[in-house]
Amino acid sequence: MQTLMDVATLKDRLDDAGATGRRTVLLDVRWALGDPHGREHYLAAHLPGAVFVDLAHELAGPADASRGRHPLPSQEQFQASARSWGIRRGDAVVAYDDSGNMAAARLWWMLRNAGLADVYLLDGGLAAWRRAGYAVESGERQAEAGDVELTDGALPVIDAGQAAAWGLGGVLLDARAGERYRGEFEPVDPRAGHIPGAVSAPTTANLDADGKFLSPAALREHFVQLGVRADVPTAVYCGSGVTAAHEIAALEIAGFPAALYPGSFSEWSNNSSNPVVTGAAPYPDQAATYLDGCESQR
């Protein structure tokens, strides 16, 4: 299944829409941790026809210590939002942002999980569109209400109980920055460190200098070095379940299926009974062995 769409392909699809009758819904998911001005960025400049998606309010329910900072909304709430963006039965959907698809991947994953197959990430996002010399527009774009029917559960997820033991028989990837994984810095969650057994796999390693995903071969090599294999189950978490979706997209491009832990570390760290590990090793007593293994792969 195709994950990405490049800007030239999207431009052709939009230019040919009148002749072919193919509808492509463009969704702008401008959001970044610590930047509450996504809508303002969208209003200033966005792809022609793109509708703004409010990640904090449309792609997440209210923050809840027992479910994390960005818990998934109910199926009913998500369907209502998808219809307000103008998605109809049979439409293709292309999501993008201006941060390497770190936010847009949350929408991509949620629509895939809701049963839509014809949904893509715009590789390189707004920056790639602009570099190609294509026009942008400003202001609000209101969509005519759609009629899409969404389901739930098309993609695998795990809960905290499964995450606790996942590293013993599978690969649990932590998609946050390395300093947060190691417990050196934690800007938002109550405790610093990582889930026991997790391997550090920052999402920034999935992208090139232009904010585009690495090639399938390069991504596959990267994940294999982290222990990912076709015969071993893989799961991913991050701070609140947002950038973990980016990691799942990268894994899909590389040919590896993976499950999402939606509550992620914000849920895990709020439960005082859950252990947290600091340092570079997945488990506290494996530091030397793990670091020696890393050195042997260089």
- Asked if pLDDT for residue 298 goes beyond 80, the answer is no
Where do the CATH 3.40.250.10 domains begin and end in the chain? 4-131, 160-291
| Exposed / middle / buried, residue 178 (Cβ in 10 Å: 0-12, 13-18, 19+) | middle
- Asked if pLDDT for residue 215 goes beyond 90, the answer is yes
pLDDT for the residue 291: 41
Give me 31's structure tokens.
């959001």
pLDDT for the residue 296: 37
- Asked if pLDDT for residue 288 goes beyond 70, the answer is no
Q: Which residue has the tokens 């057994």?
A: 197
- Asked if pLDDT for residue 297 goes beyond 80, the answer is no
Architecture of domain 160-291: 3-Layer(aba) Sandwich (3.40)
Instruction: Supply the residues annotated as catalytic.
Output: 238
- Asked if pLDDT for residue 21 goes beyond 90, the answer is no
- CB 129, CB 163: distance < 8 Å: no
Confidence of residue 286 (pLDDT cuts 50, 70, 90): low
Instruction: Compute the average pLDDT of residues 84-110.
Output: 97
Tell me the percentage of the chain whose pLDDT exceeds 70.
Answer: 95
Query: pTM value?
Result: 0.93
pLDDT for the residue 43: 98
Average predicted confidence (pLDDT) for the chain = 94
CB atoms within 10 A of CB 204: 14
CATH topology of domain 4-131: Oxidized Rhodanese; domain 1 (3.40.250)
User: How many angstroms separate the Cα of 135 from the Cα of each of 7, 128, 210?
Assistant: 12, 12, 19
Which tens digit of pLDDT belongs to each residue from 180-202? Answer: 999 999 999 999 999 999 999 99
- CB 219, CB 213: distance < 8 Å: yes
- Asked if pLDDT for residue 261 goes beyond 50, the answer is yes
Q: Are strands 171-174 and 51-52 parallel, antiparallel or unpaired?
A: unpaired
Which tens digit of pLDDT belongs to each residue from 131-143? Answer: 999 999 999 999 9
pLDDT for the residue 20: 74
- CB 194, CB 277: distance < 8 Å: yes
